[in-house]
Amino acid sequence: MKVAVVGATGLVGTKMLQVLAERNFPVTELIPVASSKSIGKEITFKGRQFKVVSVEDAIKQKPDVALFSAGGSTSLEQAPLFAEAGITVIDNSSAWRMDPTKKLVVPEVNADVLTADDKIIANPNCSTIQMVVALKPLHDHYKIKRVVVSTYQSVTGTGVKAVDQLFNERKGIDGPKVYPYTIDLNVIPQIDVFTENGYTKEEMKMILETKKIMGDDSIKVTATTVRIPVMGGHSESVNIEFLHDFDLSEVRTLLSNSPGIVVVDDTANLKYPMPLDAHDKDEVFVGRLRRDETQDNTLNCWIVSDNLRKGAATNAVQIAEYLAAKNLIGQGIEA
């Protein structure tokens, strides 16, 4: 399969190349794409060198599938051009996620909504992906009424420049800043811009995307999203109220038996999920499972995952794998 990676020089794009190689996705030809400043740069993939090209050149080469991670405005402009040429786009930005004509997919939850007619498929927000992977088996058994989530998000979620800011600050170098404040030794309770209701866009993404992916508008979600000076993954404290009561050991079994989840919940031995342990892994790690003793049918838990992998690259590649396995690439109406 001819595969274009748009944003191949970025944090997510680099991880996509790594995940495509590791999972042995059947890439016959790689087309790396980035901004004009990177054209001609060499990218190594499975020991072979590929030159970065422009989006226009990439479309001319007619890839079967294009994995986009080059920001929302690039996606809004370029993804339709790929789709019109019959190329299946899997997009990591927020550009298409809430478009009612586009599918928003986490394979463990709702891959079955995909058809050959879907030419632009949206990859959800990283914090939302790891949360819905854990919510899905619980919703199927106990029906979720309300979720209260607070996030502790890695600087890798903001891209290369944010990682540079953290390490510059740590070394005492006065470099460019992508956050409005110092991030090293600090906690910033703002991710993305504020909206009129006082929530940030990141918080609204978690609220709205969860309902869309789970296919259930009745699930109430409220979120506080926070940036912390950590690499390796996002962590989430999640309080879940169900319609029906649950048994804690059954919750552990349900989660352990669900695809993509690893339960790390052995407090006697101080075992719980942490970003250092989740780094460069594909799974969603769940622990600190306990009843909320202040309210009936309510569970507290702690969810950690590598935002660049399951939160972005791995989820996108899993969507491509599903499409390939079901023969849904290159078959659609626009093809």
Out of 126, 139, 279, 301, which one is annotated catalytic? 126
Greatest Cα pair distance, the chain, in angstroms, is 60
Is 97 annotated for ligand binding?
yes
Out of 139, 234, 279, 301, which one is annotated catalytic? 234
Amino acid at site 250: E
Residue of minimal CB distance from ligand NAP? 10
Contact 242, 297 (CB under 8 A): yes
Contact 130, 107 (CB under 8 A): no
Is 227 annotated for ligand binding?
yes
- Interacting residue ranges for ligand NAP, rule: CB under 6 A: 6-13, 33-35, 37-38, 55, 69-72, 74, 92-93, 126, 156-157, 159-160, 307-308, 311-312
Residue 126 designated active-site:
yes
Amino acid at site 56: E
Is 307 annotated for ligand binding?
yes
Is 305 annotated for ligand binding?
no
Pairing of strands 234-242, 144-152: antiparallel
Q: Which residues of 189-211 are buried (b: 16+ CB within 10 A; e: fewer)?
A: ebbbeeeeeebbebbbbbbbbbe
Distances (CA, A) of 307 to 2, 15, 28, 166, 241: 26, 10, 27, 17, 25
From the CB of 75, what's the least distance to ligand NAP, in Å? 7
Looking at beta carbons only, is 7 or 287 nearer to ligand NAP? 7
From the CB of 124, what's the least distance to ligand NAP, in Å? 8
Looking at beta carbons only, is 88 or 315 nearer to ligand NAP? 315
Contact 281, 261 (CB under 8 A): no
Looking at beta carbons only, is 65 or 70 nearer to ligand NAP? 70
Looking at beta carbons only, is 240 or 279 nearer to ligand NAP? 279
Is 309 annotated for ligand binding?
no
Question: How far is the C-alpha of 68 from the C-alpha of 122, rounded, in Å?
Answer: 10
- Return binding residues for substrate: 153, 227
Q: Give the active site residues.
A: 126, 234
- Return binding residues for NADP(+): 9-12, 37-38, 307
